[in-house]
Amino acid sequence: MNLSELGRIVEEEWFISAEIRPEIQQDAFVIMPNHIHGIAVITDINCDGAMKERAHGRAPLRRVPRSLGSFVAGFKGATTRRINVLRKTPGASVWQRNYYEHVIRNEKDLNEIREYIQNNPLQWALDEENPDRKL
């Protein structure tokens, strides 16, 4: 994917998110024209500086600090603010309301998801939302 100016904002904020959130470890990601795929490992930092796993498969009703929901909200908020400044569209929505999450349970699952993310740009030509899609 060749990123537009908006895509570069999303890419920058993806990396900034991990810098300002020590509980986040990032893995594979790709920015598509109308969505993003990424693997975020959520950990918890103990008093001694060691990290322990904290992710679970139950979506909370409210955002818990240092959770996936908190990470996604912060990421979406930061990118939305910067995109709206650039487009001069204060308060405009940029992202869909929700997001899809999947708890990665083992190495096989992790590798399959990494492969999916890596190959996703190759599927854009077939995507129903691609305005240049060839039928």
Determine phi and psi for 73, rounding to 5 degrees: -60, -45
Looking at residue 50, what is its pLDDT?
46
List the beta bridge partners of residue 44. 52
3-state secondary structure (DSSP) of residue 30 = strand
- Alpha carbons within 13 angstroms on the beta-carbon side of residue 21 total 26
Question: What superfamily in CATH does domain 5-126 come from?
Answer: Transposase IS200-like (3.30.70.1290)
pTM: 0.80
Looking at residue 135, what is its pLDDT?
67
Looking at residue 85, what is its pLDDT?
97
Average pLDDT over residues 89-111: 93
For 41, the token pair is: 């490992």
Give the chain's end-to-end CA distance (angstroms, integer): 21
Looking at residue 29, what is its pLDDT?
96
| Average pLDDT along the chain | 86
User: Tens digits of per-residue pLDDT, 1-19?
Assistant: 789 999 999 999 999 998 9
